[in-house]
Amino acid sequence: MGESRHWADVVSDRVTTVKKKHTIATGITPSGEIHIGNLREVLTGDAVYRALSDSGAEAELIYIADTLDPLRRVYPFLSEDYSEHVGKPLSAIPCPCGDCANYAEHFLEPFLESLELLDIDPVVYRAHELYANGDFVPATIAALLNRDKIASIIENVSHREIPADWSPFNVICESCGRITTTVVSGFDEAKKTVDYSCECGYSGTTPLEGHGKLTWRVDWAARWGVLGVTIEPFGKDHATKGGSYDTGTKISGEIYGYAPPYPVIYEWIHLKGKGAMSSSTGVTVTITDMLRVMPPDVLRYLIIRTKPGKHIDFDPSRIIDLIDDFDRANNRAFELSRTKTFLPSDIPFTHLVTAMQIASDPTDIDTLHEVLRRSGYDGYNEESVKRRVENARNWLSSYAPDSAIFEVQRELPTATKNLSEEQRSGLLRIASGISGDLAAKDMHDLVYAVAEEVGVSASKMFQAVYTTILEKDSGPRAGYFMASLDRDFLLNRLKEAGRG
């Protein structure tokens, strides 16, 4: 395959030679806030789904919420009251806010709302519902009947020692409600029940249906056959030698007679200066927060433009550049990133951020329009500008570096007293050179020309402009910035500073 092909199309080409219908599986354990690091899995799956659909193949995207997984510990965002729920399935634990059906839904619901905004529409499965419906009963019986063979596979492939009392099925205790403290002691294939005992002191017999879950390595292999999975993106941790995918491949083939899905292995998203995103370490940026500061198409683009096998360095302070990069893009990643609500932008986001700060009240759309008109932008899509203004406002208040934030000074800054004679002379020459409807680029070039005329470096001349107007040593691209200002204000300020 040529390198010019987008990675999602390469995957599509490879798998369509094997089967015509494909099910792409994604999922997560909703134990905490679902962040953009988690989003990489479902967006990787969605990109493959779109590539397959574009090729004419029949494809389905599914999302599996592992709601039967236990609460591992009392996370920092939980009250100590949750200590009594450690070890219980997430679907059986109270919602932290009290408004959702259970703990899992508290984190799952906002995530699914975000998927809708991102134009991702998977078939959503909840593990506790699949097990309660009996979908996994045949796979569970097969696992219990082949307990020794599965244990041998796990030991040989992963080099992990399996305890003598290990079972491929974890029972939910009918007394304490925990799934991590039980031991299976017997199994009746005809009645479809298991005997078990629990650390809490309870013992009994319970139906397989809805009263437990296969252990992770067995559950993953079983769901491939149960749900007909043919393609699955997953993190590099599962792809290590002897890891979950290796054991799953053997269990799926030897116990369930099902070929493992085509793997799409992805790397982590790293948050600048903090490392890989992880709910357990608290290094996260939420999807909801990101959708406040960038269009959904751009959040898709952040992930889809990079091959899954490469990690993504994400710096929220550089979102301004990411959006401009998306707007300039004319490639397959751009096509795969567009949502149903996509609106093109005729104005660079960088300039919109500048224009908003020049307009003293960015909520006054007429003032903003005037600022944009002065810098040469007219006839643009107003709905697009309205959305981007909201993104820009949120970015400025949450993630923008100090270098991107400024305020036009209404009075001549006292710092202009420190300007050199050459800088003052340059300011006067810039003012005299600005005539008529001088375009933004021409204003930028004018500063360079004047700097040479008065014998100072261009950086010193630009610094003089920013000091005069912003009382800062730096600022937005000077030509477009000056063109956006009221012309009378600009000329008066440059002359005032030039005269000293």
User: DSSP character for 5?
Assistant: S
Determine the straight-line distance between the first and last CA of the chain, rounded to whole angstroms.
Answer: 66
Structure confidence at residue 435 (pLDDT): 80
Question: Residue 182 CB: number of other CB atoms within 10 A?
Answer: 26
Structure confidence at residue 362 (pLDDT): 60
Structure confidence at residue 4 (pLDDT): 75
- 119-173 confidence digits (pLDDT tens): 999 999 999 999 999 999 999 999 999 999 999 999 999 999 999 999 999 999 9
Residue 2 in this model has a pLDDT that exceeds 70: no
Structure confidence at residue 309 (pLDDT): 96
From 268, 270, 225, 263, select the one nearest 243 (Cα to Cα). 263
- 175-221 confidence digits (pLDDT tens): 999 999 999 999 999 999 999 999 999 999 999 999 999 999 999 99
**pLDDT-based confidence at 360, cuts 50/70/90?**
confident
- What whole-number distance in Å separates Cα of residue 500 and Cα of residue 497? 5
Structure confidence at residue 214 (pLDDT): 98
Q: Are 485 and 443 in contact (CB under 8 A)?
A: no
Structure confidence at residue 438 (pLDDT): 84
Structure confidence at residue 303 (pLDDT): 97
Mean pLDDT score of the chain, rounded to an integer? 94
Give a three-class secondary structure readout of 353-378.
HHHHHHCCCCCCHHHHHHHHHHCCCC
pLDDT above 70 coverage of the chain, percent: 98
DSSP per position, 401-420: -GGG-----SS--GGGGG--
What b-and-e string marks burial along 298-319, b requiring 16 or more CB atoms within 10 Å of the CB? bbbbbbbbbebeeebebebeeb
- 31-65 confidence digits (pLDDT tens): 998 999 899 999 999 999 999 999 999 999 999 99
What is the total residue count of the chain? 500
From 179, 31, 11, select the one nearest 108 (Cα to Cα). 31
Give a three-class secondary structure readout of 89-131.
EHHHCCCCCCCCCCHHHHHHHHHHHHHHHCCCCCEEEEHHHHH
**pLDDT-based confidence at 261, cuts 50/70/90?**
very high
Burial of residue 41 (CB within 10 Å: 0-12, 13-18, 19+) is buried
Structure confidence at residue 470 (pLDDT): 97
Q: Name the strand (E) or helix (H) holding 28.
A: strand 21-28
- Write down the CATH number for the domain with range 414-499: 1.10.10.350
Q: Are 183 and 196 in contact (CB under 8 A)?
A: yes
User: DSSP character for 11?
Assistant: H
For CA atoms 468, 472, 473, 474, the dihedral sign is: negative
**pLDDT-based confidence at 1, cuts 50/70/90?**
very low
Structure confidence at residue 353 (pLDDT): 95
User: DSSP character for 286?
Assistant: B
Q: At residue 209, what is the residue type?
A: E
- CA dist 208 to 135, 205, 226, 366, Å? 11, 10, 16, 66
Q: At residue 129, what is the residue type?
A: E
Rg of the chain's alpha carbons, rounded to an integer?
A: 30
Q: Domain 1-157+215-342 belongs to what architecture? A: 3-Layer(aba) Sandwich (3.40)
Domain ranges in the chain? Answer: 1-157+215-342, 158-214, 349-404, 414-499
Structure confidence at residue 280 (pLDDT): 65
Query: Three-state SS for 58?
Result: strand
Q: How many angstroms separate the most distant Cα atoms in the chain?
A: 98
Q: Between these two residues, 29 and 1, which has the higher pLDDT value?
A: 29
- What whole-number distance in Å separates Cα of residue 379 and Cα of residue 426? 35
Residue 3 in this model has a pLDDT that exceeds 60: no
Residue 391 in this model has a pLDDT that exceeds 90: yes
- What whole-number distance in Å separates Cα of residue 61 and Cα of residue 26? 8
> Given strand 312-314, what is the order of strands in its sheet?
275-276, 269-271, 312-314
| 57 CA to centre of own chain | 27
Residue 123 pairs with which residues in a beta bridge? 62
- Tell me the two tokens of residue 364: 């006054």
377 Cβ contact partners less than 8 Å away, ≥ 6 residues apart: 346, 347, 351
